């Protein structure tokens, strides 16, 4: 008998920050529809570490559904060849994903900044609005353009009729739910605790340092029975928990794309896929941090301000950790890790260890769910 895949509906738990009210049914449905479409749209893109390629998508339309597609592209289109700083230590931001919204609406910028779409991401990422550039020095790996016509530089194009046609070809009950198994296994990586915490913050991208933690994950946590991803009681009472856990969905949505890139890298170098994953750990980590930053900004978290940073730096041990956690629970939450990858090494090197391990665990997670 074929085992039934568990499917859940986590997006319904998101609430508006200003009043705590649910998003409308239309908005939530559009999030699911856009996710299903975008993951299918990107499924054959294989970009290897070090590749000079980049993705530029034109989204032709500004309906609520198409703006949800823009949101999902920003969450999902992160590739392992993104270069934040060049070999000379200069901010380069090479191979960013560019998303061009084709629209003539006078209010399109404010509409994109609504909480249900890009939220505060446009305040921090590089953008070009009808030729006017903003945040030119941003380190973020996604760039937003608004044009009245699709530019010739686009490599891909999304039209509303394409999205509607895709949705019509799928069962609605599958579109409106998510196979959460990868997200569940992703969350288990962050539950390894001492197996990671006790590692020194040196040679963070050396695969050999994670052999014990990987074994623990593979032969213990990976074998544990699947449990529901959604914790109804906790999620109904704690929006911070909802937004942080949804990051596991957005993270695991990129696993197949990264796997394709690593397969291509292995083929080009004539090495095994395991060697390719190990050799590419730093490049994968840069890409994952870029994805995480975009995810957090769309979820409404902001970088810490100078006052918060100074107070946090004046504390030590558990007090510093507890203070940083408290900032994530404010009405306008901040997070110390919303920074460039290079700065992350200075402000929170321990978080980098978890990312390095997670990326090495991707093949194990994909094998498990397949």
Task: Kindly report, residue by residue over 328-365, the tens digit of the pLDDT.
Answer: 987 789 999 999 999 999 999 888 999 999 999 999 99
| Contact by Cβ (8 Å): 93, 84 | yes
- The pLDDT score that the predictor gives to residue 190 is 85
Q: Rounded to whole angstroms, how far apart are CA atoms 241 and 187? A: 12
Task: Provide the pLDDT for residue 2.
Answer: 56
Which of the residues in the chain have pLDDT under 50?
A: 1
Can you give the pLDDT at residue 6?
A: 81
Q: Residues 93-145: pLDDT tens digits?
A: 999 999 999 999 999 999 999 999 999 999 999 999 999 999 999 999 999 99
Mapped onto helix, strand or coil, the DSSP state of residue 133 is strand
Distance CA 363, CA 284 (A): 13
Which pLDDT does position 3 carry in this prediction? 66
Which among 286, 351, 293, 298 is positioned nearest to 325, based on CA atoms? Answer: 351
Q: What is the pTM of this model?
A: 0.96
- From CA 66, how far away is CA 33, in angstroms rounded? 10
Three-point CA angle 359, 364, 369, nearest 5°: 115
**Would you state the pLDDT for residue 331?**
78
* pLDDT recorded at residue 294: 98
- Check residue 5 and give its pLDDT: 81
* CB-count exposure of residue 346 (10 Å: 0-12, 13-18, 19+): exposed
Bridge partners of residue 158, in order along the sequence = 59
pLDDT score, position 1: 47
Instruction: With CA atoms as reference, report the closest residue to 155 among 53, 61, 75.
Output: 53
pLDDT value, residue 138: 98
How high is the pLDDT of residue 292? 98
Residue 132's alpha-carbon distances to 127, 142, 213, 315, in angstroms, are: 8, 17, 48, 42
Alpha-carbon gap, residue 212 to 192, rounded angstroms: 11
């Amino acid at each position: 008998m074929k085992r039934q895949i568990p499917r859940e509906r986590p997006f319904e738990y998101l609430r508006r920050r200003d009043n705590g009210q649910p998003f409308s049914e239309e908005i939530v449905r559009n999030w699911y529809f856009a996710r299903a479409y975008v993951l299918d749209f990107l499924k054959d893109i294989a970009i290897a570490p070090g590749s000079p390629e980049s993705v530029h998508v034109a989204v032709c339309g500004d309906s609520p559904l198409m703006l949800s597609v823009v949101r999902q592209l920003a969450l999902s289109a992160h590739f392992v060849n993104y270069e934040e700083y060049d070999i000379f230590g200069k901010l380069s931001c090479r191979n960013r994903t560019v998303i061009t919204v084709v629209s003539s609406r006078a209010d399109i910028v404010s509409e994109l900044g609504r909480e249900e779409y890009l939220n505060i991401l446009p305040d921090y990422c590089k953008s070009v609005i009808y030729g006017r550039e903003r945040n030119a020095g941003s380190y973020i790996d996604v760039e937003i353009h608004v044009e009245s016509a699709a530019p010739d530089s686009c490599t891909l194009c999304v039209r509303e009729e394409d999205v509607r046609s895709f949705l019509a070809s799928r069962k609605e009950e599958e579109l409106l739910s998510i196979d959460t198994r990868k997200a569940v296994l992703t969350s288990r990586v962050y539950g390894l605790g001492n197996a990671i915490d006790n590692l020194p913050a040196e040679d963070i991208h050396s695969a050999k340092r994670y052999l014990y933690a990987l074994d623990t994950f593979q032969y213990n946590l990976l074998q544990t029975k699947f449990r529901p991803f959604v914790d109804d009681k906790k999620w109904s009472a704690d929006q911070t928990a909802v937004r942080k856990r949804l990051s596991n969905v957005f993270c695991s949505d990129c696993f197949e794309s990264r796997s394709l890139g690593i397969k291509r890298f292995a083929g080009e170098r004539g090495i095994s896929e395991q060697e390719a994953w190990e050799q590419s750990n730093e490049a994968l980590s840069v890409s994952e941090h870029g994805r995480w930053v975009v995810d957090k900004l769309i979820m409404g978290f902001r970088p810490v301000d100078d006052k918060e940073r100074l107070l946090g730096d004046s504390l030590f041990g558990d007090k510093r950790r507890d203070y940083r956690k408290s900032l994530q629970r404010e009405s306008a939450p901040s997070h110390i890790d919303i920074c460039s990858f290079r700065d992350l090494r200075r402000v929170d090197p321990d978080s980098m260890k978890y990312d390095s391990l997670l990326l090495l665990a991707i093949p194990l997670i994909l094998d498990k769910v397949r």
